[in-house]
Amino acid sequence: MCTLVGKKAPAFKADAVVNGSEFVDDFSLTQFIGKKHVVFFFYPLDFTFVCPTEILAFQDKLDEFEKRNTAVVGCSIDSKFSHWAWLQTEKNKGGIKGVTFPLVADLAKTIAENYGVLAGDYDYDEEGEVEFIGAPVAYRGLFLIDKTGVVRHQLVNDLPLGRNVDEALRMVDALQFFEENGEVCPANWQKGKDGMKATSDGVADYLSKH
């Protein structure tokens, strides 16, 4: 597991499905540099249980992310064909039909590995053959990437633990508030609340009002 906060997000080019049905070759997050913030999240597998609840929750809030000029991109170790099939499956049959944000295919597991969220490692057994130790899927990693391509927030959940999409929105708001105002965001900060200046006087002034 690595910490990417403050570093450039690892670059990649991979197959993806966009707009719910369109195959794209060489999909890359670099297309958003200078244009949008990005919420890039990993999930373990298509056609599972917790994963569709998260993906559909992101879709339900997609307009809110778009209002904030923020792209949402999902990624798992499944193929583009698996993504496509899942995207064509009705919700009442365990599918995610209606999801429009991109889903990246990481069959080689290199993207998950580079982002430090692969739930295991390759190793050699006693016979010298390569084996995978652990679960050959991604943890529920989430990365908030700014317009310069730098990771500003990182969250990694174990496989059984679903994420809070409202918290992802809150972190986008916090980052954009800091970028626009130069003020930092205290504990439990919400959009519309006061920030505080990162000085002793600024902290004292904030605390005196709260």
Each residue of 148-171: pLDDT tens digit?
999 999 999 999 999 999 999 999
User: Residue 173: what pLDDT?
Assistant: 98
Q: Provide the residue ranges of all domains of the chain, joining segments of one domain with +.
A: 14-162, 164-210
Per-residue pLDDT, averaged over 38-50, amounts to 97
Q: Tell me if 138 sits within 8 A of 110, measured CB to CB.
A: no
Task: Tell me if 106 sits within 8 A of 139, measured CB to CB.
Answer: no
Task: Classify 128 in phi/psi space as left (phi over 0), alpha (psi -120 to 50) or beta.
Answer: left
Of 2, 51, 75, 185, the catalytic one is 51
Q: Residue 122's pLDDT is what?
A: 82
Does the pLDDT of residue 64 top 90, yes or no? yes
- Residue 185 annotated to the active site: no
Predicted confidence (pLDDT) per residue in 87-107, tens digit: 999 999 999 999 999 999 999
The amino acid at 9? A
What CATH number belongs to 14-162? 3.40.30.10
Residues forming a β-bridge with 118: 138
Kindly state the DSSP code that residue 46 receives in the 8-state scheme.
Answer: S
Going through the chain in order, the beta strands assigned E by DSSP cover 14-18, 22-27, 37-42, 70-76, 103-105, 118-124, 130-138, 140-145, 151-157
Residue 1 in this model has a pLDDT that exceeds 80: no
Q: Which two tokens stand for residue 106?
A: 């990481």
Q: End-to-end distance of the chain based on CA atoms, in angstroms?
A: 38
